[in-house]
Structure 1
Amino acid sequence: MELTPMMRQYLAAKEQHPDEILFFRLGDFYEMFFDDAKLAAKELGLTLTSRSGDAEKNPMCGIPYHAAESYITKLINKGYKVAIAEQIGDPKAPGLTKREVIKIITPGTILSESALTSAQNNYIALLYEAGENVILAGADISTGECFYGVYSGQDRTQMLYDELYRLAMPELVVIGELSFNEELLAFIELRLPRCSFTHREKPAEQPELRLSQHFPRELWPQENEAKEGLASLLDYLHETVKNDLTNLNRLTKLDVSSNLVLDTYTLRNLEVTRNLRDGGKSNTLLDVLDYTETAMGSRLLKRWLEAPLRSIAEIDRRFDAVEELSEGFTLRESVRSSLKRIYDFERLLTRAEVGTANARDMVALKLSFRALPEIKEALKDTKAELLRHAYENIEVYKNLEELLEKAIVDEPGITLRDGGIIKEGYNSELDEYRAIARDSKKLLQEMEEREKEATGIKTLKIGYNKVFGYYIEVRNSGKDMVPEHYIRKQTLANAERFITEELKNFETKILGAQEKIVNIEYQLFTEVRETVAAELTSIQKTAHEIAVLDVLASLAEAAASNNYVRPRLMDNGEIRIKDGRHPLVERILTQDLFVPNDAVLNHGDTEIMLITGPNMAGKSTYMRQTALLTLMAQAGSFVPAREAVVSPVDRIFTRIGASDDLVSGQSTFMVEMNEVAQILKYATKNSLVILDEIGRGTSTFDGMSIARAVVEHIRDHIHAKTMFATHYHELTDLEGGHVKNYCVAVRERNGKVLFLRRIIEGSADKSYGIHVARLAGLPNSVTQRAEKILEALEADSVNTVPEKKAKAVPEPKADMGMGSLFADTLREDLMAYDVMTMTPLEAMNALYKLQQQAKKEAGKA
């Protein structure tokens, strides 16, 4: 088949981009050909056509260029890459129009507003293995962040996977071959199924040259391998975005030594930022605490929760700011009201820097600039260090605000090439062309009157036709009065037609006015955009301060709205919580009252809380609650409790719930053992460990043996603060030394069981599994038969199971001290009443209130 010059041009471009779908600009359309056309037609629902009439042999399909963004986004979301080949030459010039690929769009480099979730980062990550080290480099080009980490030793891949899970990047670039490639693929498939891979053969050849384009030398990695990995990522970004990317100027090293480490299991089990149901934000800790007003703040809050602090001084700095904002209602409302008017600075700046920002983006920046003086004014008299820092470092951009106000219309269109984006009065040349386009008829009439008056030719008139354009027509009777500067253009039977320099200039302006208007507006807009981009570094710093302020205000709003308290930080290893509440569960419970509970963990007599009690009684909720409150405190958040003392921990480990990793072919029990193995391997004396029902996935004696051995190992070798929930009552004989028994209070009456949701000292003597089965709806015949089997098994086990040493807690009775079963708030409310001075009506109201509270806490309301 003989190819046209245009098709040869297309194939040459496609040869350079075999892994991308090539969008080839032809006039007002992007066209795709051959295999790209088949793929795009399938994924986008387009109709295949052909220039030759044979869609099977020479398939093609196309989309309007002005609607390309939505089509590209669809392809990117499916994991494809798109190369954009634009017309570089003048389409009106003779011969083949020059075209070249101006950018490549990938899942990790897409910048269109419609493709990005405002409250989430869009990271791209790169892995490079050099000897014993694995280098992770990453960036979010939409916000200007860049980071790297170096992993070595036997734990390198586990630490790497934990970080990849946090990043949740849509694209991973791999340099060369990885020794753990199969393991990595399995992890990505299981935990990050939407992540696409990009392979590169070699690392960057001149890493320092590339690094010098973005970061000051003092920020560069020390390790040569890290320099190569980071430069390789930057090379890839430059090759795809095809821009100097000066917004990538902030570099941080991933270092867990200063943070509370939350591994993949813990982040999932505690549902910190992603829920277990669909991986979304709803019903997560992030969801509960997110009162942010800006996209920047929401993204930063997520990072704070996924990497809480360990330094008491740094945490207290956050507490001081949250306290001042939570106690100062007027201050908080003023700050949050101003924050509402601030758009996504970081991404607006990136689009300005790479040249994709439109006029609406500039208006958003203007409105954001306008809110900054109000924020500084609100913070002027604050005392907390972080609030003072925000006050001092938030810049006010009055000049840019005035420029944008003067230049850009208040409600511009989306497309820059349609015009209508520059205000009247900003540019005299533009105003002149607009006047010509708008008032051409009036201007021609004025010119005609001037010429009549100047020449004295009363019959003179100005006309227009498509062949000759504009002309001055003079009848033969007046041709003797024609001035010398008139140029003869056409002779008619009874008239002569002329042109003048003024009329020629007017004609040029008239005919090209609209095109000129669009071109001038575009040029003026790009100048404004470049002026804004020139302040990029300064505005980025202000954006960061705004994000921090937004997070602090969000945590303050959460504290004020949900009755949270400031934890007291200690360094003695103790965690002591009074009337703690689960931040997620208490919000979900609308009909029932959440029953608060105490928690005490230390390195003395309660290093390990051994918790027994029935299913559905609240053990898992209680343990998650303790872990979440500790995490919240170290992130800088107040906590749902009456009092809280927290000694920062280095890691939180959780083994909660049952889940089969069917994709990886692992059973529930295998998953459980893997997670326990990780905990025993990495936990330290300063860790918090949450273990729920260890060993239940195998036979009773196997499971009991494993559970007991795990508790003993933690007690004797690790000394981590541990909550260990179990149905194996036989383990309660471990009490003593660092182990203390706790159980869930239960009341039995007339064969019915009531779970009181209170954790009390002592051990349970029953699991009430059959009772739970009855509540679930198992037939009576089944549950009755189960009770008989249980009686036989318990009788038979007397000779095979060692006698329990720990005394079981007696069944709660009506005359027991209810202070041990119900919240201390009830007792304190009762003690606070001055009975001798109350009127009868006041006494009745108080008694009724206490009765309703008691009913709720007993589950009878």
Structure 2
Amino acid sequence: MANKTKKVTPLMKQYNAIKVKYPDALLLFRVGDFYETFGSDAVKASKILDIILTKRGAGSESETELAGFPHHSLNTYLPKLVKAGERVAICDQLEDPKLTKSIVKRGVTELVTPGVALNDEVLSSKTNNFLAAVYFGKTIGVAFLDVSTGEFLTAQGSAEYIGKLLQNFNPSEVLIEKQKRSIFNDTFGANFHTFYLEDWVFQDDYANETLCKHFQTKTLKGFGIEALAQGVVASGAIMHYLGETQHHKLQHITAIERILEGDYVWMDKFTIRNLELYHSTNANAVTLIDVIDHTISPMGGRLLKRWLALPLKSQEKIKARHEVVQYFLDNEVALQKTQNYIKQVGDLERLISKVATAKVNPREVVHLKNSLEAIVPIKALASNCENEDLKRIGEQIQSCELLREKIKETLNEDAPVNILKGNSIASSASEELESLRAIAFSGKDYLNKMLERESASTGITSLKIASNNVFGYYIEVRNSHKDKVPETWIRKQTLVNAERYITEELKEYESKILGAEDRILVIEQTLFSELVLWMHSYILQVQQNAQLIAQLDCLGSFAHLAQQNNYVYPEIDASFDLDIKQGRHPVIEKQLPLGESYVANDVFLDRDTQQIIMITGPNMSGKSAILRQTALIVLLAQIGSFVPAKSARIGLIDKLFTRVGASDNISMGESTFMVEMNETASILNNVSERSLVLLDEIGRGTSTYDGISIAWAISEYLHEHPSHAKTLFATHYHELNEMTETFDRIKNYNVSVKELKDNVLFLRTLVKGGSHHSFGIHVAKMAGMPPQVLHRAQQILKQLEKSHSSDELTAKVKDLDSEMQLSFFNLDDPMLEALKSDIEAIDIDTLTPVEALMKLNEIKRMLTKKKRA
């Protein structure tokens, strides 16, 4: 028996034809007043949206899963789908069902993806929603676009640099060439939401053509990105993707900004993670941005994150920011007024982007006008102040008078969200609109006069004129007066106690009213569309205002932060010194219990006398906090903020490296020790004379002697490296205290403790001199370890301390040096001959520090083995 062909309805044929074009998207298919999903899409949607899953044609050959929601609820359900990582194709009805006898034409009007979203419920006000593209060419190119604000940035460089940018900008979606899928995952990890485009999209010529077409220019030279060949390709891929996702109204994307690596402090991805600038591995942890963000506007909040991601290296630019902060602190009234006005300013960037993409509603346009009006007094305040940079900002702010006036003349102040609700356009904006409204809304007087006239002519005093949706307008007569009804009246409806009639005059009036209402709606929609189109000429001006207000907001936020938390003006100079007096950790001090004050500490580093500080002390004593606070104070200073200290003099830092805290990457098959070595190798391979290096417990991921050997070799490398990079090295290996005897720029400090009879008190103060006791057993006791375990640990510790002194380690290192030197004068031993050949074969120029450490360890083992033999 032959299989029966599955019957498919015309609607499902249409659905299948559209779905096949968007196989990787969840298709919202408009059917009447609902958006429906079918098949696997319906199963997925029902789970994400928590809506009922039903079956269409249950029991029949065309049975399929079905889940839907009312079309007016799109803004409620769409964000949930996008936040779940879904690409959503919105398929709308392209014609009025009343005007066609066949199936309604439908088509995808928008493809919403995590990186391309304009819906307010998807977007976070103080966070950018970046779409990124990565291109692997001679070097790696990257581009970032926030379609909701129009910000478009590009860069190119090493995998390490691009990885750092990806971590900082945290894109919602990353576009990659199909064939580079595994390369991307191997290079940057699989944590990003990725989408793969055909390889031909990533072509030089196509990218140039796409970008030039958008910007309506013959060349990209005016954008300063012509040297970024890979960055241009990535940027072109983004613009191609916008077209593919049905985003064609993009007049708010007016420029591409180049991220110049040389302008900003280098921080690798490990440093950004270790310092917990934006995120923490602990879900409830407070991050730096949580503490320092006192911005008022969404634009300011987004810009502050950018400043934190890209600290400045220009002494002049940093000082300019500091001077504005100082001006605000000296002129509290100016700060208060500025912040009060900024509170009245809406999200200008996203409002004007909605204008460009034709997704703005009447209420938002009024909000835009009111925001621009709040800027006028800010412009006056800034223009007339004594600070040159504030004055410059004031002069650059655009008043947009014509724009504000046009909106005021066109729209009612209380305009609704939905243009279809009416009363958006001011009556004075159109004579026709004014006269039609007079007809539509002066009906009450007309009907009262008609009622008065008909009552007098018929003698029926209880006449009533009313209307409903079924019969329209009618005159109602009680049954007791039926005999008085004129013959010219037409009966419309019979009730129990009354009859309803219509007259020619009432019919004419009804058609006039209904015609007026329909015409009013058309005029309002037309005038609003014309206004929005006219506003396009102000996109650039509003965007410029948004950027200037964001700057003012950030600088005002810094002033407020300094005021509330007793931060000081940091001195940035061209020296190589770092001199912090009474420095504090900005995050920890805000988390202390009420009444408890943070224990402040001094830190001094330079390249000539105290290049490396070796900090010893027990666990939990505060070593890591001192390292982190030093990094955060430098970071805050170079983004233009005041700092938590009594004073701070900072020789400009160009690279900030941290290796703080254990960070396993076991999910990718790497041990704690391997991750630690990768991060440390990154530091040693990139260190410069203006670097600040912060190392915490290097070597603890391996055996004690291996760990000590590696920590010693790393410290020695940094000391002997021509850069003389300033370094803080926190360690529990007290043996490293001996390094100060051999290396003149290494100094020992410890985080002091007070030893009580059976306990230890952490004083958290950094003092000169090394610590020779770890107090680990005391910490175990504080953690509630059983007494018999603590007693046994004490016994073992005493034995170990007798057999392995730090003097022994120093002697061993010195013996190794002398043994290596003397052995080569006597090369009769075949093993030493082989060792010499092995060393001569090493290419010092290409050898990484970690490879050197491994080679040194291998040599040491060979020599030790020989000695034992």
Secondary structure of residue in 2 paired with 1:150 = strand
Q: 1:629 aligns to what?
A: 633
Contact in 2 for aligned 1:291/1:555 (Cα 8 Å): yes
Counterpart of 1:169? 171
Corresponding residue number in structure 2 for 1:801: 809
Return 5+ residue gaps in structure 2 as ranges.
1-5, 476-483, 492-500, 815-869
Residues 340 and 504 (structure 1 numbering): CA distance in 2 closer, same or farther, change over 3 Å?
Answer: same
2:149 pairs with one of 133, 143, 148 = 143
Query: Contact (CA 8 Å) 1:471, 1:499: kept in 2 or not?
Result: no
1:758 to 756, 765, 773: 765
Kindly provide the CA deviation profile for residues 528-557 of structure 1, in whole angstroms up to 9, marking residues without a partner as x.
333333311111001100001100110111
Letter in 2 for 1:744: V
Report the AA paired with residue 68 of structure 1.
L
Match of 1:381 among 358, 374, 384: 384
Return the match for 1:744 from 714, 735, 751.
751
CA deviation vs aligned residue, 1:146-166 (integer Å, no higher than 9, x gap): 111122xxxx22222111111
Q: Contact 1:733–1:805 at 8 Å: present in 2 too? A: no
CA deviation vs aligned residue, 1:67-98 (integer Å, no higher than 9, x gap): 01221111111111111122222222032322
Q: 2 CA distance for matches of 1:469 and 1:776?
A: 81
Instruction: Name the CA distance, whole Å, in 2 between partners of 1:710 and 1:469.
Output: 90
1:564, distance to aligned residue in structure 2 (A)? 1.0
The alpha-carbon deviation at position 466 of structure 1 amounts to 10
Residue in 2 that maps onto 1:63: 69
Q: Give the Å deviation of 1:661.
A: 1.8
Q: CA–CA distance in 2 between the matches of 1:754 and 1:209?
A: 68
User: What is the alpha-carbon distance in structure 2 between the residues aligned to residue 537 and residue 183 of structure 1?
Assistant: 36
- RMSD between aligned residues: 3.4
Instruction: Indicate conservation of the 8 Å contact 2:131/2:174, yes or no.
Output: yes
Q: Quick one: distance in 1 between partners of 2:81 and 2:654? A: 42
Counterparts in 2 of 1:11-410, with a 5 A limit?
A: 11-54=16-59, 57-95=63-101, 96-130=103-137, 132-151=138-157, 156-178=158-180, 181-182=182-183, 184=185, 187-189=188-190, 192=191, 195-203=193-201, 206-215=206-215, 217=220, 218-219=222-223, 221-222=225-226, 223-278=228-283, 283-410=286-413
CA distance in 1 between partners of 2:99 and 2:44 (Å) = 33
Answer yes or no: is the 8 Å Cα contact 2:132–2:143 preserved in 1.
Answer: yes
Q: Deviations over 1:303-352 (max 9, x none)?
A: 10111001111111111111111221111111111111111110111112
Match of 2:570 among 567, 570, 580: 567
Structure 1 vs Structure 2: percent identity of aligned residues?
37
Q: Secondary structure at the match of 1:691?
A: strand
- Which of residues 712, 716, 726 is equivalent to 2:720? 716
Report deviation, 1:435: 4.2
**Does the 8 Å contact 1:733/1:804 carry over to 2?**
no
Q: For 2:796, which of 778, 789, 806 is the aligned residue?
A: 789
What residue identity is the alignment partner of 1:530? Answer: L
User: Hey, what's the Cα distance between the residues in 1 that align with 2:534 and 2:258?
Assistant: 31
SS in 2 for 1:211: helix
Q: Is 1:609 matched up with 2:617?
A: no
Q: 1:465 to 1:286 in 2, by over 3 A?
A: closer
- Give the Cα–Cα distance (whole angstroms) in 2 for the partners of residues 467 and 648 of structure 1: 79
CA positional deviation for 1:409: 3.9
Q: Classify 1:646/1:804 alpha carbon distance in 2 versus 1 (closer, same or farther; 3 Å).
A: farther
Gaps of 5+ in 1: 483-487, 491-495, 807-861
| Whole-Å separation in 1 of the counterparts to 2:612 and 2:599 | 23
Map residues 418-429 of structure 1 onto 2, 5 A cutoff. 418-429=421-432
User: Given that residues 575 and 652 in structure 2 are in contact (C-alpha distance below 8 angstroms), is that contact kept between their aligned partners in structure 1?
Assistant: no
CA distance in 2, matches of 1:438, 1:257: 66
SS in 1 for 2:51: coil
TM-score by length of 1: 0.84
Distance 1:451 1:677, change over 3 A: same
Alpha-carbon distance in 2 for matches of 1:541, 1:727: 53
Amino acid at match of 2:336: E
Does the CA contact (< 8 Å) of 1:171 and 1:198 recur in 2? no
Provide the rounded CA distance (Å) in 2 between the counterparts of 1:613 and 1:92.
81
Could you tell me how far 1:141 is from its partner in structure 2?
0.6
Which of 596, 603, 617 is the aligned partner of 1:599? Answer: 603
Aligned equivalents of 2:91, 2:611: Cα separation in 1: 65
CA distance in 2, matches of 1:441, 1:614: 86
Q: Describe the superposition over 1:110-148 as per-residue Cα deviations: whole angstroms up to 9, x where unpaired.
A: 111111111100000011223x22221220011111111
Q: Do residues 641 (structure 1) and 639 (structure 2) align?
A: no
Conserved 8 A contact 2:300-2:551: yes
The alignment partner of 1:674 has SS state of helix
Partners of 2:553 and 2:732 in 1: CA distance: 45
Higher mean displacement: 791-800 or 727-736:
791-800
Distance 1:382 1:213, change over 3 A: farther
Q: 1:419 to 1:804 in 2, by over 3 A?
A: farther
Q: State the alpha-carbon separation in 2 of the partners of residues 450 and 91 from structure 1.
A: 43
**Secondary structure in structure 1 of the residue aligned to 2:114:** coil
2:383 and 2:392 in contact (8 A); partners too: no
C-alpha distance in structure 1 between counterparts of 2:290 and 2:726, whole Å: 28
* Amino acid corresponding to residue 175 of structure 1 in structure 2: E
CA offsets 1:483-524 (integer angstroms, 9 cap, x no match): xxxxx999xxxxx99969xx8864433234444444333333
Structure 2 Cα separation of the partners of residues 757 and 471 of structure 1 = 88
Distance 1:338 1:93 in 2: 51
Amino acid at match of 2:21: Q
Query: Structure 1 residues 466 and 262, CA, compared in 2 at 3 Å: closer, same or farther?
Result: closer
Whole-Å Cα distance in 2 between the matches of residues 149 and 313 of structure 1? 24
Partner of 1:779: 786
Structure 1 residues 698 and 252: CA distance shift in structure 2, 3 A:
same
Distance in structure 2 (CA, Å) of the matches to 1:672 and 1:530: 56
* Contact 2:339–2:556 under 8 Å retained in 1: yes
Decide whether the 8 Å contact of 1:345 with 1:365 is kept in 2.
yes
Question: Which secondary structure does the structure 2 equivalent of 1:638 belong to?
Answer: coil
Distance 1:497 1:721 in 2: 95
1:446-466 CA-partner distances (Å, limit 9, x unpaired): 57999999xx9999x999999
The change in CA–CA distance for 1:739 and 1:334 in structure 2 (over 3 A counts) is same
Could you say if the C-alpha distance between residues 206 and 662 of structure 1 is closer, same or farther in structure 2, counting changes exceeding 3 Å? closer
Q: Distance in 1 between matches of 2:153 and 2:560?
A: 31
Residue 13 of structure 2: which of 4, 8, 28 is its match?
8
How many residues align structurally?
A: 778
The correspondence of residues 430-829 of structure 1 with structure 2, limited to 5 A, is 430-440=433-443, 442-444=445-447, 446=449, 506-590=509-593, 591-717=595-721, 718-735=723-740, 736-798=743-805, 800-802=808-810
Q: Offset of 1:426 from its aligned partner?
A: 4.1
**Distance across 2 between alignment mates of 1:761 and 1:463:** 94
Equivalence for 1:809:
none
Distance in 2, matches of 1:182 and 1:398, equals 52
User: How far apart are the structure 2 equivalents of 1:49 and 1:773?
Assistant: 59
Q: Displacement, 1:401?
A: 2.8
Residues 317, 384 of structure 1: 8 Å contact kept: no
Kindly provide the CA deviation profile for residues 692-749 of structure 1, in whole angstroms up to 9, marking residues without a partner as x: 1111121111110000000001111242110011111221121142211111223334
